[in-house]
Amino acid sequence: MVSQNHVILTGRVAKPPLRHYRPDGSPVIQFPLEFNHQENASGEERKSRVDIVAIGKLAELEPSFFQCGQSLLVEGRLQQRRWQTPEGRDLSRLEVIATDFRKME
């Protein structure tokens, strides 16, 4: 069986990206992408966020590309990270590892 892991999301940059570097020196940026969706049949909207992670050349884009409120189309794959706190609590986070960004006007 062939499985696919490809997502395409459109939303707005909710916070400026955090930039850090991996041990090999490649840049990494992380930021939340916010989008609206309908909660129920009455048409109530609610906002959701998903963490976006870009590594390497994609993380080298100009900071102005990621201004708060900027509409973006993000392509990538889903990844779940799991870790344990020093207190022994298990945590996990679902994030999108970006392979492409496009500004939307």
Instruction: Tell me the CATH class for 7-104.
Output: mainly beta
Residue type, 69: G
List the domain boundaries for the chain.
7-104
Q: What is the pLDDT of residues 14-72, one digit of tens each?
A: 999 999 999 999 999 999 999 887 666 777 777 889 999 999 999 998 877 888 999 99
Task: Please state, in angstroms and rounded to a whole number, the distance separating the CA atoms of residues 31 and 15.
Answer: 6
Task: Please state, in angstroms and rounded to a whole number, the distance separating the CA atoms of residues 95 and 77.
Answer: 8
Q: What is the pLDDT of residues 64-95, one digit of tens each?
A: 788 899 999 999 999 999 999 999 999 998 99
| pTM reported for the whole predicted model | 0.83
